[in-house]
A and B are shown apart, each in its own frame.
Chain A
Amino acid sequence: MSHKNVVDSSIERNATLSRSSGARPSFGAAMFFEATKLWAVRSTRITLASALIAHIGLSWLLAFSAKASGDNGYESFMPAPYMSLASLQLAQLFVAALAALSITSEYSNGTIFSSLQAVPLRARLLGAKAAVIGILGFVFGLLLIGAGTLLAAPAAGHYGAFGADELLIALFGGGFYLGALSMMMLGVGVLLRSTAGAITSAFVLIFGLPQILPLFNIQWLQDLAFYLPTNAGQILGTGQTEPYGATVAVLVLVLWTLVLLGSGIWVFKRRDA
C-alpha cells in the first residue's frame, strides 16, 4: 500500500465517522455521561442514604421535642413540613459534600482527563454536571422534605398540624434550596479542586457565616447575613415574608449559584486540566 493510499483512506474513513456521528458530544449525551459516573460510584448511594437517615431522624426528634414541650405548656407549634425543612441543616452537608466531590474526586482520581477527552468542550462538560447535580439536589430535596414530614407529623401530633400550602412551600423551597446549593458547591469544588478545601468552604458558608456575621456590630454585615444561601433557603421553604419574600429568596439563591458556579466554569475553561 503506497503512502498516499494510506492518507487517502484515512481521510475517507474520517469523513464517514463525521457523517455518522452528527454533532459534537451533545449536552444531553454529556448529561447522560455525568449521571452514569455519579450513580455508578457506591459512595454516592451511601452519602444519599446517610443524608436520608440523618434527615428523618432529626425531623422525628424535632417533632418529638415539639410535642414534649407543647405538652409541658410551652409554645412549640410548628407545621410538620417546616420541621422537616429545619432538619435540612444537617442533611444539606451531605448533599453539599456530594456535589463538591463530584468534581474534586475527578481531580484526585484523574478521571477528569478521560472526561475531558470524551467531552472536550469544557463549559458543556461542567454545565452537564451542574444540571445533573442540580436536578439530583432538587429531587432529593423533595424526597427529604416529604419523608421528614411523613415521620414528623405523627410524632408531633396537633403541635405539627399543617395544610397543603405549607407542605408545598416546604417541598418546593427545600428542593430549590438543595438544588441551588449543590450547584454552588460544584462551583466551589471546581475552583478549589480539593475535597478538603471544598468541604471546609461548605461549612463556612452553611454554618460559619450565618453565625459570625450577626456578631459584628456593623449594620450592613448583620443585614448581609440575611442574604446568605442558608437564610434565603429558610425564608423560601417556610413562606416567611420578613425581611423579604419568596421572589427575593429565589433571586438570592440564583445569584449565589450564578456567581459560584459561573466563576467555576469561567476558571475551568481557562485553566490547564
Chain B
Amino acid sequence: MIIFQDLGKDYGSVRAVDSLSLSVMPGKVTGFLGPNGAGKTTTMRMLLGLDSPSRGSATINGVGYAQLLAPLRTVGALLEPRTGHRGQRADSHLTGLARSNKIPVVRVQQVLEEVGLGDTGKRRIGTFSLGMRQRLGIAAALLGDPEILIFDEPVNGLDADGVAWIRGLMRAKAAAGATVFVSSHLMSEMQSTADQLVVIGRGKLLAHDSMDHVLASSAQNSVVVSSPHIGILAGALEKAGFTVAMSGIESLQVTAATPTLVGGIAHELGLRINELSLQRASLEQAYTELTAQSLDYVPTGIVEES
C-alpha cells in the first residue's frame, strides 16, 4: 500500500505539492489526475525517492522507497519515456536491472514479449520509436513482477492499439491484486480504466473518491423531464431551488437533480410525465468542475515559472 502523509515539495517559490495526504489501495487502478503542472510527476518522484520531500512523507508498505528490500520486485515504475542508454541494447538494459535486484535473467525475454517487443531485444534503444521506448519502460517496470505499479502518463506516445493494451494490462494487474497508481492529465483516459480517482490541482488534493462517486456527485448531472404541463412544472422546480432550462417544446433540463426528486414534485402536483431521464455527466465535465478553481490560478502560475 502507498501512503502519502502531509507530503509537500517546494521548488524555490513554486509549491509543486502541497500537504497531500492519501492512501492508494491494492486491487484497484487509482487514477491520479490533474492538469499539466499540477504536481503529479513530482509526487511520484518523491514516492520513488528520486526527489526528497520538503515536508511529510511518502511510503510503500510502511517504508521509504530506499528502505525496500528488493525495490524492483516490490515496485515497478514508469516515469519517463526516456529509459536506457541510447547506445545500449534493449535486452542488455533489462539484464542490468535484473542483475541489480537478483531477478532471474529469463524474465528479460518474458517481459519483452509481454510488452510486444519480443523480437527487438537485440536492437539499440536509440533506434526505438517513442512508443517502443514507452513499452520498454513498461517492460522494465514489470521485470520484477512487482505488486505495485506506478505509471506516469503511460499512454504518451502510444498508438491506439498501445493505449488499449496498457489499459488492459492495468486492469489485469489490479484484478490480480496489484496496486496500480497511474497519472494522466486526460480525463478521457481514466474513465474506462480507473476505479478510484485522485484529483490534484496546484499541488493540492481536490478529490479522492471512487469513480462512481465522482460521477454521481457531479453538479453537472441533470434530469430531463418532458410533460404537457411544462410551465407549471418549471415553476414548481424553481421554487424547490432547482435550476431549470428548456430543452425542447415540452421538455426541461434540471441541473443537479435526480429523477426521484423531479418525479416526486410532478407527482405532488398531479402532472402527467412523458419522459424522465438522468443525464450523467461525463468524467470530463466532472473533472473540469473539480479543477476549475485551481485552473483560475494557472495564468499567474505561468508567469511565476517563466
Q: Does A30 contact B (CB under 8 A)?
A: yes
A152 to B54, CA, bound (A): 59
Q: Does A113 contact B (CB under 8 A)?
A: yes
Interface residue total, chain A, C-beta cutoff 8 A: 42
B48 touches A17 (CB 8 A): no
Residues of B within 8 A of A6 (CB): 25-27, 177
A117 touches B71 (CB 8 A): yes
Chain B positions within 8 Å of A, measured between CB atoms, are 1, 25-27, 45, 48-52, 61, 65-75, 77, 79-80, 82-89, 92-93, 95-97, 99-102, 140, 147, 177-179
- Among A7, A23, A117, which residue has the most Cβ atoms of chain B within 10 A? A117
A111 to B96, CA, bound (A): 12
**A-B residue pair count with CB separations less than 8 angstroms:** 133
Partner of B49, one of A30, A106, A111, A116: A116
A118-126, A218-226, A235-243, A253-261: which lies at the interface: A118-126
Partner of A272, one of B52, B61, B99, B177: B52
Residues of A within 8 A of B67 (CB): 24
Residues of A within 8 A of B99 (CB): 29, 32-33, 36
A39-47, A48-56, A76-84: which lies at the interface: A39-47
Nearest A residue to B65 by beta-carbon distance? Answer: A120
Other than the known A36-B92, A110-B80, what 19 A-B pairs have Cβ atoms closer than 8 Å? A3-B27, A6-B27, A7-B25, A10-B26, A10-B177, A10-B179, A13-B177, A17-B70, A17-B147, A18-B69, A22-B102, A25-B71, A29-B101, A33-B96, A42-B87, A110-B82, A110-B83, A111-B85, A120-B66
B72 touches A109 (CB 8 A): no
A117 touches B70 (CB 8 A): no
Residues of B within 8 A of A217 (CB): none
- Among A22, A30, A36, which residue has the most Cβ atoms of chain B within 10 A? A36
Partner of A121, one of B50, B66, B179: B66
Partner of B80, one of A7, A23, A113: A113
Main secondary structure of the interface of B (DSSP, over half): loop
B-facing mask of A1-16, CB < 8 A → 1, else 0?
1010011011101100
Report 11 cross-chain contacts, Cβ distance below 8 Å, ordered by A residue: A6-B177, A10-B1, A10-B147, A13-B147, A18-B70, A25-B102, A33-B100, A109-B86, A114-B83, A118-B96, A120-B48
Nearest A residue to B83 by beta-carbon distance? Answer: A114
A111 to B74, CA, bound (A): 20
A6 to B82, CA, bound (A): 33
Residues of B within 8 A of A36 (CB): 92, 95-96, 99
From residue B117, how far is it (CB to closest CB) to chain A in Å?
A: 16
From residue B254, how far is it (CB to closest CB) to chain A in Å?
A: 35
From residue B177, how far is it (CB to closest CB) to chain A in Å?
A: 6
